[in-house]
Amino acid sequence: MRFFEIHTPYYALLKAETQQDAIATYAKYVAEDDGTLQEEIREVDRDYALVSFSRGATDDGEEVSILEILTDFQSEESSVLLIGRDVL
């Protein structure tokens, strides 16, 4: 699994097999592709993604177990791991 970030038009941290899968996941769950996602997306390393995801998983004030964080992070399906608050 690879990890990607998009900052514009809305922030998201995604995991996917390919960059194209990440863009499709973003378009499905975050915002439509206005033609700029190919330029906005960047791949990030696994450790960076894990730290970002683990910090974001507790933003609502409720504690999330390490086991739950690792289970979600290591699953083999494409998904949005984090999404910017401006989307919600």
Domain count, the chain: 1
Report, in angstroms and rounded to the nearest whole number, the Rg of the chain calculated over CA atoms: 12
Question: Is the pTM higher than 0.85?
Answer: yes
Average pLDDT over residues 47-63: 80
Cis peptide before 9 (omega within 30 of 0): yes
3 state DSSP class of 73: helix
Residue 36 covered by a domain: yes
Rounded Cα distance between 29 and 50, Å, is 20
Q: What per-residue confidence (pLDDT) applies to 34?
A: 86
Give the pLDDT band of residue 86 (cuts 50, 70, 90): confident
Give the pLDDT band of residue 56 (cuts 50, 70, 90): confident
Q: What per-residue confidence (pLDDT) applies to 26?
A: 96
Instruction: Give yes or no for residue 61 having a pLDDT over 70.
Output: no
Instruction: Give yes or no for residue 59 having a pLDDT over 70.
Output: no
Average pLDDT over residues 17-36: 94
